Amino acid sequence: MANTLLEVSGLKVAYGGIQAVKGVSFEVQEGELVSLIGANGAGKTTTLKAVTGLQPVAAGEIKFMGRSIKGQGAWDLVKQGLVMVPEGRGTFTRMTITENLQMGAFIRNDSEIEADIEKVFTIFPRLKERRNQLAGTMSGGEQQMLAMGRALMARPKVLLLDEPSMGLSPIMVDKIFEVVADIHGRGTTILLVEQNASRALGLANRGYVMDSGEVTMTGEARALLADPKVRAAYLGE
Contact residues: ligand ATP, CB under 6 A: 15, 18, 20, 38, 40-46, 195
> 1 vs 18, which CB is nearer to ligand ATP?
18
Nearer to ligand ATP, 46 or 188 (CB): 46
Distance CA 44, CA 21 (A): 8
Smallest distance, ligand ATP to C-beta of residue 229, A: 18
CB of 20 to ligand ATP, least distance (A): 3
Label residue 67 exposed, middle or buried (CB < 10 Å: 0-12, 13-18, 19+). exposed
Nearest to 28 by CA among 230, 205, 223: 205
Cα(34)–Cα(68) distance, integer angstroms: 20
Residue 34 or 153 with smaller CB distance to ligand ATP? 34
Q: What φ, ψ does residue 61 adopt, rounded to 5°? A: -135, 145
In angstroms, give the least distance from the CB of 160 to ligand ATP: 12
Report the nearest approach of ligand ATP to the CB of residue 97 (Å). Answer: 27
What sign has the CA pseudo-torsion 187, 192, 198, 204? positive
DSSP helix/strand/coil, 35? strand
Of the two residues 46 and 165, which places its CB atom closer to ligand ATP in the complex? Answer: 46
Give 101 or 197: the residue with its C-beta nearer to ligand ATP: 197
Q: Which is nearer to ligand ATP, 45 or 91 (CB)?
A: 45
- Give the nearest distance from C-beta 32 to ligand ATP in angstroms: 21
Strands (E), the chain: 4-15, 18-29, 33-37, 59-64, 67-68, 82-85, 158-162, 189-194, 206-211, 214-220
In the complex, least distance from residue 157 CB atom to ligand ATP, rounded to whole angstroms: 23
CA Rg value for the chain? 17
